[in-house]
């Protein structure tokens, strides 16, 4: 699938743009590029520790970019679980701090697999802003194309006047997922994690496994190994009906957002992210898990 085949959401801004499109459009002056990088560091006991990508941003970024802190500003400060989505006030405050208003055209990128970019894309749309895109291949694609970089702090910006307008239909809670598992609600569960490692998963979350009945579509498997860009082919073939409710999940709602983003690009119209994902699911000792998919 090429970028030109993707549907435009609003004002001719497609959901996915490539480096050449961005390089040619930036001179128009109305594109806000935002680096969404979050760094992961392996823990000795399994799992990862998340760290702000601000240092990475200051080392190199697309010229004129701003940095979005998904660990703090774009997550709920009071939640038990990392990356829990913010409320309307929290999101509005964070968006305004980046200079974003209702007419802003926003392009998101990170320096990994674009799962964090997809996460913020999903959040923007859930709070009423469709003028947002993801840079295919992220910072690595920009660099591979030979485009300029800059380093240092982001330039100060005037506060924006973004107004968060929450929409239904983007997220589900644990009770909704359990209802699907029990056959009380119609839907397909899609796991965006790589194949499990029981020893690592057990040490990280207390018990290994995935939610019963899940279809496996690891987020990283949707990327071209050569370029890091999205390569959507047959990954979702098990989900034949594009009107069928689909719930994506992972560890903490990040890779799940990339799966949800990809499904949206492919035309699926009833996609939601389980925000708490496995980090929340395993806290309930009665929540069912299966090893293997």
Q: How confident is the model at residue 195 (pLDDT cuts 50, 70, 90)?
A: confident
pLDDT reported for residue 181: 97
pLDDT reported for residue 238: 86
Q: What is the mean pLDDT of the chain?
A: 91
User: What domains lie within the chain, and their CATH numbers?
Assistant: 3-144 (3.40.250.10), 171-281 (3.40.250.10)
Q: Which three-class secondary structure state does DSSP give residue 144?
A: helix
pLDDT reported for residue 44: 72
Residue 193 C-alpha from the chain's centroid: 13
- Say yes or no to pLDDT of 199 above 80: no
* pLDDT digit string, tens, across residues 232-244: 988 998 887 888 8
Between CA 197 and CA 208 the distance in angstroms is 8
Note the pTM of the prediction, 2 decimals. Answer: 0.93
- Say yes or no to pLDDT of 137 above 70: yes
Q: How confident is the model at residue 12 (pLDDT cuts 50, 70, 90)?
A: low
Partners of 80 in the β-ladder: none
* pLDDT digit string, tens, across residues 24-55: 999 999 999 999 999 988 777 666 789 999 99
| Residues above pLDDT 70, as percent of the chain | 91
Contact of 50 with 82, CB cutoff 8 Å: yes
Q: How confident is the model at residue 200 (pLDDT cuts 50, 70, 90)?
A: very low
Query: Mean pLDDT, to the nearest integer, of 118-140?
Result: 98
Per-residue burial over 165-201, b = 16 or more CB atoms within 10 Å of its CB, e = otherwise = eeeeebbbebebbbebbeeeeebbbbbbbeebeeebb
pLDDT reported for residue 205: 67
Q: Establish how many alpha carbons lie within 13 A of residue 1's alpha carbon, considering only the half-sphere containing its beta carbon.
A: 21
């Amino acid at each position: 699938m090429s970028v030109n085949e993707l549907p435009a959401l609003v004002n001719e801004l497609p959901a996915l743009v490539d480096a050449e499109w961005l390089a040619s459009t930036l001179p128009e002056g109305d594109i806000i590029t935002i680096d969404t990088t979050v760094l992961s560091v392996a823990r000795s006991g399994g799992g990862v520790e998340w760290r702000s990508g601000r240092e990475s941003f200051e080392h190199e970024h697309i010229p004129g970019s701003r940095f979005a802190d998904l660990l703090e500003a774009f997550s709920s400060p009071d939640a038990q679980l990392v990356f829990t989505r913010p409320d309307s006030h929290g999101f509005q405050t964070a968006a305004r701090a980046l200079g974003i208003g209702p007419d802003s055209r926003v392009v998101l990128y990170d320096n990994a697999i674009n799962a964090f970019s997809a996460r913020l894309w999903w959040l923007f749309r859930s709070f009423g802003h469709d003028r947002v895109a993801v840079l295919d291949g992220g910072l690595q694609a920009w660099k591979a194309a030979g485009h300029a970089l800059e380093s240092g702090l982001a330039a100060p910006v005037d506060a924006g006047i973004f107004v968060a307008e929450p929409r239904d239909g983007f997220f589900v809670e644990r009770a909704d997922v359990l209802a699907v598992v029990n056959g009380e609600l119609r839907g397909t569960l899609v796991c965006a994690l790589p194949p499990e490692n029981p020893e690592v998963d057990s040490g990280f979350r207390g018990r290994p496994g995935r939610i019963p009945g899940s279809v496996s579509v690891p987020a990283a498997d949707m990327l071209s190994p050569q370029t890091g860009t999205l390569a959507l082919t047959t990954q979702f073939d098990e989900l034949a009906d594009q009107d069928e409710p689909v719930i994506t999940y992972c560890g903490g709602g990040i890779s799940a957002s990339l799966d949800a983003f990809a499904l949206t690009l492919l035309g699926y119209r009833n996609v939601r992210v389980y925000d708490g994902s496995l980090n929340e699911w395993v806290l309930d000792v009665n929540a069912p898990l299966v090893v293997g998919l």
